[in-house]
Structure 1
Amino acid sequence: MDLQLPRGMRDFPPEEKILRDEVIAILKNLFELYGFSPLETPVVERWEALSAKYSGGEEILKETFKLTDQGGRQLGLRYDLTVPLARFVGMNPTIKRPFKRYQIGTVYRDGPIKKGRTREFYQCDADIVGSSSPLADAECVQLALDVFERFKIDVVVKINNRKVLYELVRAAQIPEKFTEAAILSLDKLDKIGPDEVIREMVERGIERTSAERFLSGAQDPQAFKNSEGYRELEPVLSALRDSRVVWTPSLARGLSYYTGTIYEVYAKDSSVTGSLAAGGRYDNMIGQFLGGTEKIPAVGISFGLEPILEVLKEQRRDLPLRKTVTQVYVIPFKTLVAEGRAVCQRLRRAGIKTDIDFSAKGISDGLKYANAYAIPFVVIVGPDEVAQGKVKLRDMRSGEEQLLTVEEVARQVAQRLS
């Protein structure tokens, strides 16, 4: 058998998974500081939910993994966490609002592969359901600013309102039936450049003069400052008052369910050119899942774990990744394995992440093992130490050794690692 992963999928060895878990823990902490509560939904959704009118739209469905169960029902792998949230709220219409939830999980898109983008990837979402206040939009952007401050990543937040785009379409005299096609093409501006955007719009059936007028307006921040879309955006910008937040009329966000404010977050001075986080207001989707009987406003933001990790790895290029979570490796003499296990348990109860050399092949082999995994401390359990009711603590970085009680070891390790 030729052992290979499916294209666009990957394994994460411990040294990478440890860093991923650290990032997720920081995101969870900040989500909860902002009052968001956790939610979990299935990876597989019914196709009619994924393809509903106010879901992701034509472009995203082209990248959706589709499958059929044994009962002949059409299903798909979720391509984001927003559609499952809308479906959840639709199935639980009596939930108290505003409902603030976060969810961290894998999503799937059968699209092109590039640096920072795979076909299975994590999204880390925070959404506010049931509030139409522009302060809710500002809250999501402020959350992003705080997240990247915690990661020490310098960012710029591009922000716009979808209504600005609709006004651009009308001003360019683009027929209404081509509205979404024009916006989808504009969404690729940073990736393919202005000439290719115009060429694509013409291929979609839009007249060249209209396409050029549309693109010109999207690149002129002054042209639509009196528009309805910008008037909706002003209170969001006023609430934030941050130079890192920049109004960008050309920002489109490809997903068709957005109805108002939209934003994308980019790292400055990084080889990772894709967005690190993105989101916006989607006031129609959830009501659609309720059959259109009620309009339920919602706004949210999604953090891309993969591109964030790529940026962090760039920043930490000179720092080795941790190969294990183990903080102390206990090496007992061959006749003292039971005593070694007892030491392990006492350290674990003190909150120290501890492993033990079960083989008891000897001190030299144990030290080599600890060194290979860059375990910071070793505890040696030998006859002389046991006779004194103590153990030997070795700092693997400095080589310093101390004769200590187990309680003293726990305190020393905790202090040095803090």
Structure 2
Amino acid sequence: MKESLSTVEERMVELTLPRNQTNMTVVSAVMEHSCLQNFNSIACTRSSILASLAILTSLLCVYKLVRLHVAKHPSCHQYVIFYTAGLECATGGMHWIFWNVSQLDFLLQYMKLLQVLIMCHYYITLAIRALRRETLADRFMYPFLCLAVLYFTIVTTMGIFNAESTHVECIAPYWIALSGAEVLVVQLFAISGFYITRRLNEISTLDSVRWTQKRDLWCIVIVFELSAWGTFFYDMILQIKGDRDTGCSAIFSHRQDLYSSFLVSIMVLKLLLPIWVMLFVLQPHVTVIEKEEGLPNFSDDGTYGSFFGEDQTYKHLYQPDDSFVYSSSSTSPDGSPCMYDACLPYTYINTAMKPSGPSGLQTIEEENLEDSPSMVKKTSEARACKGAPSHPDRTGRGMRTQKGKMATTRVVSKDAPRGEKC
């Protein structure tokens, strides 16, 4: 009799409780458990793995920044990227161990989106210069990037201030708004990679160097594509399957192991994997002024150096108008039809190079090969370094700059004695 009464009382208690009270208890076990809060072994393992990877990545970012500062790397993009990435990883490590709140999730996503915009700005700028459409930067690129930063800032701020409990955090509309915009930005990144690749095909260089340049470029593009689309599909599935009554836990069948495995995978894909690839691809390089003999780092055949080294290397995609080409009538060591001077060993230019497609883009070598008086003067001065007879009957006045001003140019021989200028 007593057993039957206790059973009836338990049923009456269940009827008086809200329908989602049991779900809230399960949600707490699945979404809110960690090493310090509501300890659970599986959840603690999940948090420890994510925090360890984040802290290790943060240390690698600090090491990369030290190398950048020591080398005095000329590109500011890498400094901003790795400072932001280091701060993101440090915040993620504290978040996954100590502060399991949804506001930090939005902050991590925002810092990742800033890195995407910086990389997008870097490569879109290169593509615009390669196409010789610098006016597009002022008309379209800068307004678009400003709008993107403003959009991400507004959406993230709304998500932080309107954050709800962990019970329904995953189905907040702000996540799909951020990941959808990220996919759009990454597509512009991929289009820029296509034009940069086409320009690389038109530049005379070693096949191995060209392959390395393309590999590094498309490693970044592909990883950012995977990260953006993976995050977008994950948020889309949560939006479709999620329900405010059952909460986020029902999507994972209230299983801690299933939720933890999904969370580790998506956090690595969304936040950590792009940073790892950038740490591998983006390398610090000494500025041209500080290199040995003041010469750029060109390849053995005298063409071009590493594509992803620094801004000085990127300029070979578009060859600024105020630059000039040293030339000589002598042939290159391998007998190929190019202009070569032993006094200036880094200036091999393949004059037979033609555009590979109907794009109308001239190759870099075809743009400044006119027999101008300034080039003749530079040739005679360069030959004087080797003791070769010059042509006194030919005079030059220097290359014309973009503003139409005339500037004389002094050529310093690599092999000339110190203090001797020619």
Instruction: Say whether the fold is shared (TM-score over 0.5).
Output: no
Which protein shows a greater Rg? Answer: 2
Q: TM-score range by the shorter chain?
A: under 0.3
- Greater helix proportion: 2
- Greater strand proportion: 1
- TM-score, normalized by length of structure 1? 0.24
